Structure 1
Amino acid sequence: MATTPKKAKPHTPQQRMAARRARLRAQGLRPVQHWVPDLRDPKVRADLRRQVKLMARHPENDAIDSWNEAAYDWSGWK
């Protein structure tokens, strides 16, 4: 008479995440946390618009653009 193997007890979300992190660490990876601007926040968007306007009026924009064009390697573009 064949018996079916017992199903493993379901793990909690915390146990599953701990196991995932352990597997990633075993692969030589480590966790990092990145904080980025929340573009859904109207105050953040308004501040970004303000900064862009300031950058657009920078007196050395033409020189910076020329330097970027000269420094960039366009050979990979077809």
Structure 2
Amino acid sequence: MLIFFGKPGRKRRDALRAVGLPPIQILLPDMHHARFAEECRRQALIVAAADAADHNLWAFLNDVLADVGAAGKV
């Protein structure tokens, strides 16, 4: 990941602006924060519950696995 600070960073940002690329800022969660793992687990459980309840998804995945298995035997 590139992080531009100071004069070199300003020069790079100015060059990007000159070609029409506006500066952006991407905020990321602090993975070292005590609640990060807890929040990841909470969201993973929500996704897992939604996937388990989606019978169309399971049918699709089974069809894909059958196709992959059939393709591997050729």
**Into which bin does the TM-score normalised by the smaller protein fall?**
0.5 to 0.7
| Superposed CA RMSD | 2.7
TM-score, normalisation: structure 2: 0.52
2:24 is aligned to: 32
Query: Scaled by the length of structure 1, what TM-score is found?
Result: 0.50
> Which gives a bigger RCO, structure 1 or 2 (Cα 8 Å, sep 6+)?
2
Q: Specify which structure has the higher proportion of helix.
A: 2
Give ranges in structure 2 of 5+ residues lacking alignment.
Answer: 65-74
- In structure 1, distance between residues paired with 2:8 and 2:26: 22
Q: Which runs of 4+ in 1 moved over 6 A?
A: none
Residue ranges of structure 1 left out of the alignment (5+ in a row): 1-12, 71-78
Hey, what's the Cα distance between the residues in 2 that align with 1:19 and 1:30?
Answer: 14
2:49 is equivalent to residue 57 of structure 1: yes
**Number of residue pairs matched?**
56
